[in-house]
Structure 1
């Protein structure tokens, strides 16, 4: 019997052709919620991104064996519920590491050197004489970078920092990252020490109950007044109201943000009125090359999961034990 796959995100033509060689593919606009849920009831698998798939949406999806998200993050799913139902969830952790680390470092440089703010200032015709201190930024070279969560992306950021910018790297992680310690001189410390010593604090953690609101008013108060917060992980890891207050009050120097509590970021967000904030529209892995590789990887994950041959990129491997 031909397997049926629901694609709830537009896929590159070659990736869709790959899926069609293995299964029947039904393209669905997830904004049509009823049609999406209906399609899942007869599907063996589904592929897409950026849409929450809640337990009630798959209540009648008795054939569903695998879900493949075109992302590294999987906070759009109730993993425990999927595991209970015997549904494999796959993601794409490896292919986006380097492009996301590039984005993180772009935020570090742009925030430190006020790139966005000053580029706009020039475009507005304000550059009429040699610049003075009003346009100065701060150095990145030789400073201390604190990375909260030293996994794949955090490790790639540490490599850029230590080898490219001779930065001193501190990190917190559930376990020691021996490669980063050996190759980049990274030092594992407690969060309080990282906050107190870092010139740049970079969040690279997944969104979990433990990391939600990880950086709040208390943590921001522990940072240097000259420090810059960088978040390209998940928006809710930072208490946004507390961050706004800290930026207004000079508790910290600035912030480089690719993620927010609410996305898209509302036009009336106070963050958008602040010169000391670089705000990006969640572009972490958004390059032509990487997004294509992610879609291909997700498609291969899905077919592998449906065929019972997949051994990697599985969020809930406990399903296989069953």
Structure 2
């Protein structure tokens, strides 16, 4: 039997090998794990051009049409999760590549949303840094959550989970998106805001939970950030491009808002000279929303299942 080659990309933490039983494939597939992030297509083709199977982590490595054209041996592309906007599914089909997804949980990104929101509200990073360095004892004044308004842009699976936690904190939870109804909002324990503008102008905390699309790209621009209260905080664990990044930097530097937290960036890893790295009152994380033991088990065990099903002639969790 011919042995196929498989590359698992962007294994930053070097944990992919241990999160699934890859030995189940040993007699049919030679699997290698790549930690270093490859951005240039020439470099990527040199590394995986001999592979029939490639496993990608979320949207870390885009697969546009021109990349498929340079990978003639590729037959199966597996992405963690069941959605990946950075894969050109039409191009995959045109080149005879099957694209499959894996199980993914909505709990971890909802939990991380609260890590960012609470970290901002209570100055956690600043106070911890002061404590460890011998700096001032109590240098910040925390923002209250109880009785304050939490505004959610988007109320899907993740947004609804965030809404329920907000209600548990005693917050007034409101939500808005283009297609959200009052009935759907009420089911999640939120009220429907009459408009995006009203939601931003009246919320003490705003959290973004929308899918990136042509309708949502740049949805929160400079005018929207200016509309927010100077004491308000913005959190984005969805997709960076939903918020105008240049406007966000300006809002932080000029004090339009009290602070912002983000787990997502338009270029990842974030360039060392990116202005958000030095923006005041910014709490940033390296896209950790989905990075938990449970999710990784689902991703990599699901990848093994996808490969086995493909080899059996019955692909599962196909996309496109």
TM-score for the superposition, normalised by structure 1: 0.81
Is residue 79 from structure 1 mapped to residue 89 from structure 2 by the alignment? yes
What is the rounded CA distance, in whole Å, between the counterparts of 2:294 and 2:172 in structure 1? 29
2:80 to 63, 70, 93: 70
**1:112-160 alpha-carbon deviations (Å, 9 max, x no partner):** 11111121122221235xx4xx510211223222222222222221221
1:173 shift after superposition? 4.9
What is the rounded CA distance, in whole Å, between the counterparts of 2:229 and 2:30 in structure 1? 53
1:72 shift after superposition? 5.6
**1:148-198 alpha-carbon deviations (Å, 9 max, x no partner):** 222222222122112344432323153548565224234254322222222
Give the 5 Å matches for 1:43-54. 43=52, 45-49=53-57, 50-54=60-64
Unpaired stretches in structure 1, ≥5 consecutive residues = 317-322
Q: What value does the CA root-mean-square deviation take over the aligned residues?
A: 3.0
- Contact 1:47 1:299 (8 Å CA) reproduced: no
Look up the match of 2:168: 163
Q: Secondary structure at the match of 1:135?
A: coil
Look up the match of 1:280: 285
Q: Secondary structure at the match of 1:57?
A: helix
Deviates more, 1:218-227 or 1:300-309: 300-309
- Contact 2:203 2:232 (8 Å CA) reproduced: yes
- Contact 2:150 2:171 (8 Å CA) reproduced: no
- Contact 2:152 2:173 (8 Å CA) reproduced: no
TM-score for the superposition, normalised by structure 2: 0.82
Look up the match of 2:107: 98
- Contact 1:163 1:184 (8 Å CA) reproduced: no
What is the rounded CA distance, in whole Å, between the counterparts of 2:311 and 2:156 in structure 1? 28
Number of positions where the alignment pairs a residue of Structure 1 with one of Structure 2: 307
- Contact 2:249 2:279 (8 Å CA) reproduced: no
What is the rounded CA distance, in whole Å, between the counterparts of 2:156 and 2:189 in structure 1? 14
Give the 5 Å matches for 1:1-322. 4=4, 6-9=6-9, 10=11, 11-13=16-18, 15-17=20-22, 20=25, 23-27=28-32, 29=34, 31=38, 32-40=43-51, 43=52, 45-49=53-57, 50-59=60-69, 61=71, 64-71=74-81, 74-85=84-95, 87-92=97-102, 95-128=104-137, 131=138, 135-176=140-181, 180-187=185-192, 189-304=194-309, 307=312, 309=314, 312=317, 314-316=318-320
List structure 1 runs of 4+ shifted beyond 6 angstroms: none
- Contact 2:153 2:206 (8 Å CA) reproduced: yes
Q: Secondary structure at the match of 1:256?
A: strand
- Contact 2:153 2:176 (8 Å CA) reproduced: yes
Look up the match of 1:319: none
What is the rounded CA distance, in whole Å, between the counterparts of 1:281 and 1:66 in structure 2? 28
What is the rounded CA distance, in whole Å, between the counterparts of 1:22 and 1:153 in structure 2? 40
Unpaired stretches in structure 2, ≥5 consecutive residues = none
